[in-house]
C-alpha cells in the first residue's frame, strides 16, 4: 500500500541549499554546495551539453550586433568567451563556486547572442536565462522564479502563435511537418484527419497546451507543477518524435529542467525506514554518493523528507528519484540511445 502525505511546510522550507566548508570534488556529487542538488545537477548536465553539442566551439566572434551596438570589438572576444565558459563548466563539474559559474556560463551565452545576431536562438536564450536564475539562487523562492521562467516562455510562445495567421489556419504545421520534414507520424495521421484539418488541429493543440502549461505553472500547488511537468514531458516528447530532432540543446535541457520546480532534500534529509536485508537498500547505499539518505531499520518502507512522508512503493520510487545517481544514469542512457539512433538512421 503506497501513501504520501505532505507536511505543513510543503515546499516552502524544504530544499534549502546546505553548503559545506569543502564540497566534494567528485563530479557525480551534487549536494553540499551553495545550490540544491537538483539545480546543480541540471546545471552540470547543461554544461556538459554545451560542450558536447558544440555550443562552446560555436561561441561567435563579434560581427553584427543584435541590437545594433557595439561594433568594433576585438576578435579575441570569442576566445575570451570560450575561455570563460570552459573554465566555468570545469569548475561547476567539480563543485567549485557553483553559483558564480552558472552566472558566468549564462552571461557568455548572452554576450554571444548580443555581439552576433546570427548566434541568437530561443534555445540559447532559455539556457542562458535558466543558468542566470539558478546562479542567482536565493532560497526556495528561486524555485518559484524558475517555474515562472517556464510559464513566461510558454505564454510568449503561445501569444506569438496566436498572432500569426499561418498558425491559426494550420498552414505552418502543414508545411513544416508535411512538406519540409516529411514526418512519418504526421503523414500517417493524414490518413485519419485530412488537410487542412490536421494542421489546424495540431496548431491549436500546441497553442492550447502552451497556455495550459503556463497557467498550471503559475498556480501555487506542487500537484499542478507535477501535472505541468508530465504534460510538458509528453508535449516535447511528441514534438521530438514528430520533427525527428531534439531542437539542439532545447529539449534535453528543458526536459531535465522540469525537476527544478520541486523541493529536493539535501544531505541526510531523506529519512528512509526500510528492511536492511533488502537488495534495493544495499543498492541505494552504493548509489547515494551525496549521503542524502539517513537509513533507519524497520519492517516496512517509509520515506520522510522535510516536506512529505511516503510509504510502500511510492517511498521506493521517491528515494530512487531523489538520488542524483538516478539522473546521471538516465541522462547518459538517453544520450547513448539518441546517438545510437542517429547512427542507425544514417546507416539506414
Q: Which stretch binds another protein (CB under 8 A): 48-56, 87-95, 143-151, 334-342?
A: 143-151
- Residue 243 Cβ, how far from another protein at the closest point, in Å? 9
DSSP 176: I
Which distant-in-sequence residues (6+ apart) come within 8 Å of 41 by Cβ?
30, 256, 259, 324, 327, 328
- Number of residues engaging another protein in binding (CB under 8 A): 47
Answer yes or no: are the C-beta atoms of 166 and 172 closer than 8 Å: yes
Tell me the torsion sign for CA atoms 295, 42, 30, 48: positive
Residues composing the chain: 348
* Smallest distance, another protein to C-beta of residue 188, A: 20
Query: Is residue 231 involved in binding another protein (CB under 8 A)?
Result: no
* Bond before 234 cis per omega within 30 degrees: no
Q: Where does residue 80 rank: exposed (0-12), middle (13-18), buried (19+ CB within 10 A)?
A: middle
Least Cβ distance, residue 32 to another protein (angstroms) = 19
One symbol per residue from 48 to 87: x for binding another protein (CB under 8 A), - otherwise; what is it? Answer: ---------------xx-xxx--x----------------
264 binds another protein (CB under 8 A): no
Give Cβ neighbours of residue 4 (< 8 Å, ≥ 6 apart): 308, 309, 310, 311, 314, 318
- How many Å apart are CA 337 and CA 343, to the nearest integer? 10
- The count of other CB atoms within 10 Å of the CB of residue 299 is 8
- Quick one: which of 8, 22, 75, 138 contacts another protein (CB under 8 A)? 138
Give 258's DSSP letter: G
Within residues 84-103, the interface with another protein by CB under 8 A covers none
Q: What separation, in Å, do the N-terminal and C-terminal C-alpha atoms of the chain show?
A: 47
Distances from the Cα of 323 to the Cα of 112, 127, 222, angstroms: 34, 23, 20
Q: Give the residue, chosen from 76, 118, 297, 330, that forms a contact with another protein under the rule CB under 8 A.
A: 118
- φ/ψ of 35, rounded to 5, equals -120, 150
Would you count residue 187 as binding another protein (CB under 8 A)? no
Residue from the set 1, 180, 188, 192 that interacts with another protein by CB under 8 A: 180
Three-state DSSP at 163 gives coil
Q: Report the nearest approach of another protein to the CB of residue 219 (Å).
A: 17
Q: What's the closest the beta carbon of residue 136 comes to another protein, in angstroms? A: 4
For another protein, the closer of residues 152 and 185 by Cβ is: 152
Confirm or reject binding of residue 335 to another protein (CB under 8 A): no
Q: Interface residues for another protein in 232-251 (CB under 8 A)?
A: 247, 250
Which residue number, 122 or 333, has a Cβ lying nearer to another protein? 122
* In the complex, minimum distance from the CB of residue 10 to another protein, in angstroms, rounded to a whole number: 20
In the list 44, 161, 200, 308, the residue contacting another protein (rule: CB under 8 A) is: 161
CA 208 to chain centre: 22
Binding residues (CB under 8 A) for another protein: these are 63-64, 66-68, 71, 117-118, 120-123, 125, 129, 132-133, 136-139, 141-142, 145, 148-149, 152-157, 159-161, 163-164, 166-167, 171-172, 174-176, 179-180, 247, 250
Amino acid at each position: 500500500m503506497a501513501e504520501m502525505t505532505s507536511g505543513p511546510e510543503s515546499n516552502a522550507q524544504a530544499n534549502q541549499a546546505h553548503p559545506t566548508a569543502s564540497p566534494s570534488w567528485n563530479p557525480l556529487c551534487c549536494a553540499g554546495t551553495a545550490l540544491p542538488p537538483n539545480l546543480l545537477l541540471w546545471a552540470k548536465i547543461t554544461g556538459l551539453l554545451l560542450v558536447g553539442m558544440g555550443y562552446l566551439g560555436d561561441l561567435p566572434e563579434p560581427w553584427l550586433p543584435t541590437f545594433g551596438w557595439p561594433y568594433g570589438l576585438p576578435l579575441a572576444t570569442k576566445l575570451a568567451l570560450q575561455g570563460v565558459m570552459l573554465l566555468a563548466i570545469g569548475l561547476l563539474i567539480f563543485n567549485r563556486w557553483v553559483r558564480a559559474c552558472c552566472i558566468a556560463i549564462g552571461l557568455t551565452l548572452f554576450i554571444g547572442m548580443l555581439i552576433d545576431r546570427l548566434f541568437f536562438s530561443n534555445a540559447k536564450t532559455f539556457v542562458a536565462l535558466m543558468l542566470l536564475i539558478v546562479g542567482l539562487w536565493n532560497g526556495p523562492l528561486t524555485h518559484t522564479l524558475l517555474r515562472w521562467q517556464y510559464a513566461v516562455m510558454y505564454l510568449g510562445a503561445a501569444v506569438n502563435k496566436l498572432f500569426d495567421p499561418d498558425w491559426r489556419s494550420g498552414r505552418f504545421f502543414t508545411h513544416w511537418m508535411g512538406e519540409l520534414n516529411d514526418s512519418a507520424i504526421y503523414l500517417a495521421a493524414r490518413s485519419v484527419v485530412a488537410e487542412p484539418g490536421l494542421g489546424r488541429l495540431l496548431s491549436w493543440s500546441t497553442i492550447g497546451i502552451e497556455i495550459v502549461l503556463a497557467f498550471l505553472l503559475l498556480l501555487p500547488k506542487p500537484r499542478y507543477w507535477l501535472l505541468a511537468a508530465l504534460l510538458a514531458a509528453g508535449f516535447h516528447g511528441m514534438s521530438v518524435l514528430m520533427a525527428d530532432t531534439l531542437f539542439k540543446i532545447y529539449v534535453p535541457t528543458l526536459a531535465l529542467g522540469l525537476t527544478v520546480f520541486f523541493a529536493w532534500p539535501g544531505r541526510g534529509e531523506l529519512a528512509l525506514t526500510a528492511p536492511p536485508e533488502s537488495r534495493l537498500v544495499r543498492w541505494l547505499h552504493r548509489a547515494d554518493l551525496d549521503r542524502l539518505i539517513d537509513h533507519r531499520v524497520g519492517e516496512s518502507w517509509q520515506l520522510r523528507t522535510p516536506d512529505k512522508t511516503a510509504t510502500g512503493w511510492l517511498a521506493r520510487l521517491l528515494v530512487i528519484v531523489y538520488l542524483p545517481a538516478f539522473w546521471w544514469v538516465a541522462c547518459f542512457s538517453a544520450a547513448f540511445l539518441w546517438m545510437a539512433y542517429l547512427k542507425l538512421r544514417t546507416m539506414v
